[in-house]
Structure 1
């Protein structure tokens, strides 16, 4: 997700007029391990999901239609985010999960404001069988002590989640990788000062690369800590360009090496995300990204 304009999230669906819904012939007919009536087994293939922020402009106007389209394209896991209508987009937590399940998908995780009404959010997520609540963004901090304070907050939120039988995670941006304070990297401090029994991490591959770091190094050197990821590619542009996400397989990230290594080191969930569209439409982007994921041995 993007560290800009999340707070000014659009309530309208400008993209509905550009052909958001796909024709049936574009739908993925391959059975998947988490779809109802699936012929595949977990040993044969892994499911992959999507962070709904990818379709942030269209989703509020027609949540059910967008979810149906995603199911037809082969996405099997959903990570929602908290917008003007909450994490469940006016449907309520039980209704949204029930509808997602009727499509052969599962609502796995949600990005939310962890500073407001978090106990209620954790209880509702647990009630419908979600696995994670995720802190999506804390912003660039002014000192290493600021990051240490966030580590304390994460531990507290993790304890709330543990009481409900779910997990808490933090989703990174570039700012925890691209500067140090007194020789200390913020990402390392957040991981060092949080209890592994309480706090997991969702690695946003794009933002690690944008921050000048190697996601493979972080995954292999912190086995079991990164349990979710955003599968997001970065275009071959200058390092100081922040906004350069692109269709999977057309950028600079070696997913064929990275994702199997992530699985071997404890990765549980793989959520596709794209923020810019290179002149194409979000519909084409999510279709192409699903095709790329199915082209990988891990998901084929």
Structure 2
């Protein structure tokens, strides 16, 4: 926390350009227009910094070269405590774009009225996608999955009427065999209406579960409009616990992003977002800085 406060203090004093120049090989000084690559960030990655200094944190992302953002702060019609138009103005003024938002539809279901409010609020802020990001541990049974997906299809219809594509973001538990059934392949994909629900594939969690994203793209072409880019330090046998300590900066681990992204047209990918569940182990802006540098100098070139 001390390191983070000192970093934020330095940034507030106007020294961010010096920090970035030292860590990013001069890109922050204008040598590379990173925004032309359209790299996005899932804002869950910097959640503590956002809580401490929303506008300052977003400016740092823009200065690093992030073009797009995916939100993780919707509640009751507001985003990060601000009205949709208020938050959107901050993003617009930083030459960034809101592409997507993570928002939860609980297992108990969502009323159509609440779903309409959710859709209208997201339409007002201008997102293209609204994503279901998680299923609570107690709800990970086959019949519960089926009921939830039925609700998500209804939400997808409401979102579609508002001009928004609904979607689902995986972790690794969806690939765990339950009495001969692998939920992601045997329940999620077949039960989801492909016109109403797209898939946001998290490459870290899928890889942790022993899946090959390229094989997934080839088997289910066009189903994956969004990707989460996060790297892992080691290849291990598939496991299904929530294990975040193996997350590392994009390009600093063992996932072959070039191979995966070479198949993005088959997958139907339209947008990608960097994410780090661990917030860079206390240094979120150093982590997201390293990720966008690796992407724009080694992976996307």
TM-score, normalised with respect to structure 2: 0.83
Candidates 111, 131, 136, aligned match of 2:102: 111
Q: Compare 277-286 and 206-215 and name the one that shifted more.
A: 277-286
C-alpha RMSD of the superposition = 2.4
Once the two structures are TM-superposed, the CA of residue 118 in structure 1 deviates from its matched residue by: 2.7
Q: How does 1:53-92 map to 2 (within 5 A)?
A: 53-82=44-73, 88-92=79-83
Q: How does 1:100-179 map to 2 (within 5 A)?
A: 100-115=91-106, 117-140=114-137, 141-179=139-177
CA contact (8 A) 1:203 1:226 kept: yes
Give the equivalent residue in structure 1 for 2:181. Answer: 184
Structure 1 SS opposite 2:225:
strand
- Partners in 1 of 2:29 and 2:68 — Cα distance? 15
- Partners in 2 of 1:237 and 1:83 — Cα distance? 34
Please give the per-residue CA displacement for 1:86-130, whole angstroms capped at 9, x wherever unaligned.
Answer: 762122111111211111110111111224633212111112321
Q: Compare 18-27 and 217-226 and name the one that shifted more.
A: 18-27
Q: Structure 1 220/139 Cα, relative in aligned 2: closer, same or farther at 3 Å?
A: farther
For structure 2, the residue ranges without an aligned partner over 5 or more in a row are 21-27
TM-score, normalised with respect to structure 1: 0.83
- Partners in 2 of 1:281 and 1:229 — Cα distance? 23
Instruction: Indicate yes or no: 2:197 matched with 1:199.
Output: yes
Structure 2 SS opposite 1:202:
strand
CA contact (8 A) 1:28 1:74 kept: no
Instruction: Indicate yes or no: 2:43 matched with 1:52.
Output: yes
Give the equivalent residue in structure 1 for 2:25. Answer: none
- Partners in 2 of 1:100 and 1:218 — Cα distance? 34
Structure 1 SS opposite 2:252:
coil
Q: Structure 1 180/218 Cα, relative in aligned 2: closer, same or farther at 3 Å?
A: farther
CA contact (8 A) 1:177 1:211 kept: yes
CA contact (8 A) 2:251 2:295 kept: no
- Partners in 1 of 2:221 and 2:202 — Cα distance? 16
Structure 2 SS opposite 1:56:
helix
CA contact (8 A) 1:28 1:73 kept: no
For structure 1, the residue ranges without an aligned partner over 5 or more in a row are 1-12, 36-44
CA contact (8 A) 1:80 1:87 kept: no
Q: Structure 1 235/86 Cα, relative in aligned 2: closer, same or farther at 3 Å?
A: farther
Instruction: Indicate yes or no: 2:234 matched with 1:257.
Output: no
Q: Structure 1 236/98 Cα, relative in aligned 2: closer, same or farther at 3 Å?
A: same
Give the equivalent residue in structure 2 for 1:224. Answer: 222
- Partners in 2 of 1:120 and 1:214 — Cα distance? 37
